[in-house]
Structure 1
Amino acid sequence: MSPTPPLVHFPDGTVRPLIAGATSVTTPLPAGDRPLLLLDLDGVVLPFAARAEDVEHRLRGELSVRFRPDVPQLLRELASDFDLVWATMWEHRANAVVAPLLGLPALPVISFDDRVTAGRTLKLPAVQRQVGDRPLAWVDDSLGPDAHAWAAARAAPTLLLDIDPSTGLHVDHARQLHAFATAVSATR
């Protein structure tokens, strides 16, 4: 009898098997020399404000998603400098739904199952547990002062980019990220 794959429970009540190739939610992120790039989806890869030139995908049984036409290429270029990781409330659905639209393979996923006290960055406790001492850049549209304080106190190089959710990730952010990765690799 073949082993049953782990199940992922989604906020809407659906339960699906863990996507093949995704990192388990119970194990640390893979070790490596390159910095991590923690990616949010809503407001970062998928901006909230629609523009005429955005690429829109209507998903069967799902909402539609849209992103800037240059985002797939930006992410592929960033993957040459970083180990990409989903840090999104979509969790494993990012691999099932959005990664194929962006031309990305299944990425490791940080799971967010913590209860958060008011005034704290929702994703910070899970990120702290998962990233270890690897250098990282974190792009998100909801990074609070506590996340910035954590980043400043880390021994490992850390860059937080607060993204405007109406415009999302763009080429200027990619330039900052490439510069960070270059600086990190120069110190290793």
Structure 2
Amino acid sequence: MTEPAQRPLLFLDVDGTLLPVGGATMPSTLEEWGQWQHHGNPQLAKLTPGHGPRLLALPCELVWATAWMHDANEVIAPLLGLPQLPVADLPDAPQEDVLDVLHWKTRALVETAAGRPFIWVDDEIGDLDREWVAAEHRGPALLHRVDSAVGLTHADIAALGDWLTEVSRRE
């Protein structure tokens, strides 16, 4: 008897993905990040509560992949109606954005997926990340970039659902 296939993973970013940053000034110091990742952050009003049920309806396992780390379960999950989610073990985010290099999350997410199909939803995914994942990951992967000014949309969630349906047909 063969083991049932594990559900694909969906690695979920927060800033620029679930929490649009259009018009907001992103934090640049650790002290500012502490304030940003707090219940009192006025930017939290930009979250779309309906995204929680839509994401939960997808045939995958949701995993936080964000600099918020465990704070995403404390602050973001309740506002979206999400349960406590696993948190990807990520390296520390760089203090400054560095262009034309592999994203700081890429290697860790491929390692966490360990060959399982996965989707990574983020506003900072680039071509180098796609090329590296295609070369290094043993299973199917979708790196879905979101426009940080508007965040995750219904069309994005539909695209994720379509990809998950296609992957399940192949297995």
Same fold (TM over 0.5): yes
**Per the alignment, do residues 48 and 37 of structure 1 end up closer, same or farther by CA in structure 2, a change over 3 Å counting?**
same
- 2:21 equivalent to 1:48: yes
Long gaps (5+) in structure 1: 1-30, 51-58
Where 1:138 maps in the other structure, the secondary structure is strand
Report the CA distance between 1:73 and its aligned residue.
Answer: 2.9
Between the aligned partners of 2:75 and 2:6, the Cα distance in structure 1 is 29
Match of 2:109 in 1: 127
Between the aligned partners of 1:34 and 1:171, the Cα distance in structure 2 is 22
- Using structure 2 for the length normalisation, give the TM-score: 0.77
Tell me if the contact between 2:8 and 2:116 (Cα under 8 Å) persists in the aligned partners: yes
**Aligned sequence identity (%):** 38
Between the aligned partners of 2:21 and 2:93, the Cα distance in structure 1 is 25
Identify the range of structure 1 (38-47 vs 142-151) with the bigger mean alpha-carbon deviation: 142-151
Select 1:77's aligned residue among 57, 71, 80. Answer: 57
- 2:140 equivalent to 1:157: yes
Q: Which has the higher contact order (CA 8 A, sep 6+)?
A: 2
Report how many residues are paired: 149
Report the CA distance between 1:101 and its aligned residue.
Answer: 1.1
Between the aligned partners of 2:169 and 2:39, the Cα distance in structure 1 is 47
Q: Which has the higher strand share?
A: 1
**Per the alignment, do residues 185 and 91 of structure 1 end up closer, same or farther by CA in structure 2, a change over 3 Å counting?**
same
Between the aligned partners of 1:40 and 1:162, the Cα distance in structure 2 is 10
Long gaps (5+) in structure 2: 24-36
Provide the aligned C-alpha RMSD in A: 2.6
Q: Which has the higher helix share?
A: 2
Report the CA distance between 1:62 and its aligned residue.
Answer: 3.6
- Using structure 1 for the length normalisation, give the TM-score: 0.71
Tell me if the contact between 2:91 and 2:104 (Cα under 8 Å) persists in the aligned partners: no
- The one-letter code matched in structure 2 to 1:155 is R
- The one-letter code matched in structure 1 to 2:155 is D
